[in-house]
Amino acid sequence: MTGRRVAVLMGGMAPERPVSLVSGAKCAEALRSKGYEVVEIDPGRDVYQKLVEADPDIVFNALHGEWGEDGKVQGVLEHFGRPYTHSGVLASALAMDKQKTKAVLRLAGLNCPEGVIADRFEAAREHLIKPPYVAKPNAQGSSIGVLIVPKGANRPPAELASDTWPYGDEVLIETYVPGRELTVAVMGDRALGVTEIVPKTAFYDYEAKYADGGSVHVLPADIPEAVAEEARRAAVLAHKELGCRGLTRSDFRWDADGDGRLWLLEINTQPGMTPTSLAPEQAAACGIGFSDLVQWIAEDSSCPR
């Protein structure tokens, strides 16, 4: 029994707040079961003050999205100076910027879809690339704000110019890659497995990720071993090239009916952390229980990161 004090950051200010609250609560529960003293913190911009008041030995970051996995809170944690989990400032900021992530990973030899960054109002006026394509915020997680523009579409999505669009003015217009959705979690320097995600919605959007029954997880994915091996290799390479730490998850499309290539779509530096989330599912298939995984993440913490 450790007796050490862990502050679990959860909730926060991003649109992914509901997911983070669930992840944080499950991680806090797991840490208590392992003998840690746990303080749950739902931070705003007062995160530093709350950390000072909590006085933890370790900070477990269960936040998602802006002020969670984009390098901002990591900067605060570096200043706070106590060991913290997951990736550091640079890797977090880089991985959150989808376009810059792809630029780095292409240099490492990985296949990433082509795309352009645009102002959302410009993207709403005319097609910036030929459909089919994907329009999405360049710096959001959890498939939030993702719009699919099908082949033959006459106009771009009107939502991009809406007064109620909450995801910022910078959008990524990216070539749509058809195929099967695959994901690989990386724990340290080890790929845990390959899961195929079969969404019950039109594509793997926020609802498919988090609504009950929104998708089916096939683990291990029913794919050729050569494809699975390449997905594992690519996930570990992406993790290392971006300088990630702890647990990450890389998402892919496998164009099985086209040219057969595997395309890396993005890397998540703060994967969802409930017992049925994708990364913990893969860990469980490797014989690593949820509480053991959470403890490993906590004990992997460091500062600087």
**Which residues carry out catalysis?**
16, 142, 210, 249, 251, 266, 268, 272
| Longest Cα–Cα distance in the chain | 62
Dihedral pair phi/psi, residue 148, rounded to 5°: -100, 125
Residue 299 CB contacts under 8 Å (≥ 6 apart), including other chains: none
Only one residue has tokens 């707040």, namely 17
Neighbours of 210 (CB within 10 A): 18
Rounded distance, CA 208 to CA 215, Å? 5
Q: Is the dihedral of CA 233, 87, 292, 1 positive or negative?
A: positive
Angle at 295 between CA 282 and CA 88, to 5 degrees: 85
Cβ proximity of 80 and 58 under 8 Å: no
Rounded distance, CA 179 to CA 254, Å? 5
Q: Is the dihedral of CA 156, 160, 164, 165 positive or negative?
A: positive
Nearest alpha carbon to residue 63 among 91, 84, 36: 84
Residue 161, CA distances (Å) to 3, 121, 150, 165, 171 in order: 52, 5, 18, 7, 11
